[in-house]
Amino acid sequence: MVQSQNSTQRSPKSSEKRQTILQAALEEFLSHGYAATSMDRINKTIEVFSENLGNGVVLEMVKIPGGTFTMGSTQSELGHRADEMPTHQVKVPSFYMGKFPITQQQWKEVGRLRRVDFDLDRTRKLNDPRYPIENVCWYSAVEFCERLSKKTGRLYRLPSEAEWEYGARAQTTTPFHFGKSIGRKLANCNFEYTKASLARCEYVPQITTVGNYFPNAFGLYDMHGLVWEWCADDYRANYEGAPTDGSVWFSDAANGYKVLRGGCWSHFPRFCRSAMRNYNNPTLSYNGIGCRVVMQ
């Protein structure tokens, strides 16, 4: 296990700053020769559904097309871990996935809804409602989904581990959706001076708001770094016997832990790879753990 208010209108100044950041990210993205083909996919029409949470707060859900991909990684991938094997083909049906990790303003609005089973965790309060939530345990993330489902009449839930990795890869096979290496303008994570390309990430010593880095080809932001994201699955030490249809893996042989994906702002680049698997006790939380939801 790796340790580590109502909607507000962004001012023209903050919007301009975000555009500057995204432009810098785009330049970094294109500086990777192998990433240029991904730009063609990003420029295709992306279908987004906006769920009104109340008080002007919306939850943007991106339609992810169905497809087949190779889940996991091989020993040749820098940063590879044994629990990412064996690699296997998974066929994932189409679904909707949150454009961003759940934010403070979204958490607050859903927190006003009637409790289903649990109280929502009190996330670390930051001075911008577009910061992602942190300090969220698995049960609280599930409660968020259940309240949202009850309010809307649509099924919101945590993603399966396969859905998460499929969404993160966005039809790529490299460690990151933008290629083999992770640059300082492409994700919010900690630096690591190691061999080869994973040494390229510059440490950003604090959490940032969502959407500050370039999206993948499916239109999803912050799939690498920022906050760890809970999945619905039980954690197992390898993929032996894992589902091949994209469904959640509930296992009698599980050890009580739940899966986390994506890395976070305080962890090294290797933990932000698409194939990287982390886990934690579902009752525990700490800074750097948030969530992203899917909808059927």
Per-residue confidence band for 38, with pLDDT thresholds at 50, 70 and 90: very low
Distance CA 187, CA 226 (A): 7
Q: Residues near 47 by Cβ (< 8 Å), separated by ≥ 6? A: 62, 63
CATH of domain 12-295: 3.90.1580.10
Q: So what's the pLDDT on residue 55? A: 94
Distances (CA, A) of 274 to 59, 115, 232, 270: 24, 34, 17, 9
Q: Using alpha carbons, select from 132, 139, 119 the residue that is nearest to residue 232.
A: 139
Q: Using alpha carbons, select from 99, 74, 106 the residue that is nearest to residue 88.
A: 74
Range in 137-146, 161-170, 188-197, 234-243 with the lowest mean pLDDT = 188-197
Secondary structure of residue 60 in the 3-state scheme: strand
The residue whose two tokens read 């894992």 is 242
Q: So what's the pLDDT on residue 1? A: 67
Side-chain-facing half-sphere of 194: CA atoms under 13 Å: 14
Per-residue confidence band for 9, with pLDDT thresholds at 50, 70 and 90: very low
- Residue 43, pLDDT > 50, answer no
Percent of residues, the chain, with pLDDT higher than 90: 62
Distance CA 161, CA 159 (A): 6
Give the model confidence (pLDDT) of 231-260 as tens digits. Answer: 999 999 999 999 999 999 997 755 689 999
Per-domain residue ranges for the chain?
A: 12-295
Q: So what's the pLDDT on residue 32? A: 47
Count H helices and E strands in the chain, helices first: 5, 11
Distances (CA, A) of 162 to 92, 93, 201, 262: 8, 11, 26, 13
Q: Which helix (H) or strand (E) covers residue 183, if one does?
A: none
β-strands 289-290, 228-234 pairing: parallel
Q: So what's the pLDDT on residue 75? A: 95
Q: What do you get for the CA distance between the two ends of the chain, in Å?
A: 30
Distance CA 284, CA 28 (A): 36
φ/ψ of residue 149, rounded to 5: -65, -45
Give the model confidence (pLDDT) of 181-235 as tens digits. Answer: 777 778 888 755 443 444 454 454 588 899 988 899 999 999 999 999 999 999 9
β partners of residue 132: 103
Stretch 76-92: mean pLDDT: 96
Distance CA 193, CA 137 (A): 31
Give the model confidence (pLDDT) of 266-276 as tens digits. Answer: 888 889 999 99
φ/ψ of residue 38, rounded to 5: -65, -30
